[in-house]
Copies of this chain bind each other. A is one copy, B any other.
Amino acid sequence: MIKVAVNGYGTIGKRVADAVACQPDMEIVGVSKTSMNADAYVAKARGYPLYIADLSKRADFEDAGVPVAGSVAEMITKADVVVDATPGGVGLKNRPMYEQHGVRAIYQGGEKHATAGFSFNSSVNYDEARGRQFVRVVSCNTTGLVRIINEVDRAFGVGKVRAVMVRRGGDPGDVKRGPIDAIVLDPVTLPSHHGPDVQSVLPHIEITTAAMIVPTTFMHMHAVQMTLKRPATREQVIELFRAHSRIGLVKGPSGIRSSAELKEYMQDIGRPRSDMWENGVFEESVSVVDGTELWLFQAIHQEADVVVENVDAIRAIASDVPAAESIRMTEEALGFVALG
């Protein structure tokens, strides 16, 4: 059993914890929080030992009926692998602690590539993660782009990618972040940093990206265009995607044409936390113009798509399970089914 600690039990951390807990070869030895709130009740209900960053806040938790197992430093000593799901930039500060204890760590996309020295995607470079102490699972948007670009590149060769990402302003439970009524350029300067981030996993891909933030909470939406080195039909591209377990096809007769309806569908089919771990590629949008210019829309659930990559990343650095087997195990444990 791989002993896993989740440092930062928030939006991503709580999802990774549940995904880890249901794997046959992993167990949760602890999760951590910095201050008392509803997530602590959730950790308690799930039976995860709760560690806290600052023991002087112990009373805040215990007065609320949530027992505290100890400090984060103590939690680290019990783990084979730490999933660092702390806010962006904090992971870098945690690195000396992980080094000192000789514990492996999985970082999230909020950290820079250099913090881990290796950027991970299950379908691209699982084997190269072997033996590493630190691995970074790239961000939700980058993961979503990498999945489809890699598939299309292997099948038809990708000459150039242009992607416009329309990002949700905040997660559903984040009531402080805006905007309320604005389309915000983030950043104003072009291209955005997302292209280089894709190249941290797929260095040979030429890609230009633009990004905006809008007042929604459910999912990001990407308009992606790729020039193909070898001609393809839309049917060929759709078949390619259908064969990839982490690329979901949103069918035309579903009538789903928005992030909100897609999230509702995840909810209706009983996914935990209504999570969509797959890319949501809109089948009707897949188009090939002039034989070599592929266009499509895809929805990316910012809270969820990296969860399954985290589970694989744990196996990649802490077991000898091969890539395809890890992907299969991860998905079987979560009860993946083809959508639609």
Contact = CB atoms under 8 A, between A and B. Distances in A.
Given A179-B258, A190-B295, A215 B212 contact: no
Work out how many copies of this chain go into the complex: 4
User: Secondary structure at chain A's binding surface: helix, strand, loop or mixed?
Assistant: mixed
Interface string A186-204: 1111110000000000000
A180 B181 contact: yes
B295 A258 contact: no
Contacts of A172: 181, 218, 260, 263-264
A174 interface: yes
A14 to B, nearest CB: 7
Contacts of A223: 164, 210, 212
Given A166-B212, A189-B287, A253-B64, A260 B175 contact: yes
A212 B261 CA distance: 14
Residue of A63, A191, A252, A267 with highest tally of chain B CB at under 10 A: A267
A28 to B, nearest CB: 15
A95 interface: no
A217 interface: yes
A91 interface: no
A183 B42 CA distance: 22
A254 B180 contact: no
A185 B253 contact: no
A145 to B, nearest CB: 15
25 contacts: A38-B261, A39-B268, A42-B268, A64-B251, A162-B162, A173-B260, A173-B263, A173-B264, A175-B178, A175-B184, A177-B178, A178-B180, A179-B180, A179-B258, A180-B215, A183-B218, A183-B299, A184-B257, A184-B259, A186-B257, A189-B285, A208-B225, A212-B223, A214-B214, A214-B216
Interface of A: 14, 36-39, 41-42, 45, 60, 63-64, 162, 164, 166, 168-170, 172-191, 208, 210, 212, 214-221, 223, 225, 251-261, 263-265, 267-270, 272-274, 282, 284-287, 289, 293, 295-297, 299, 340
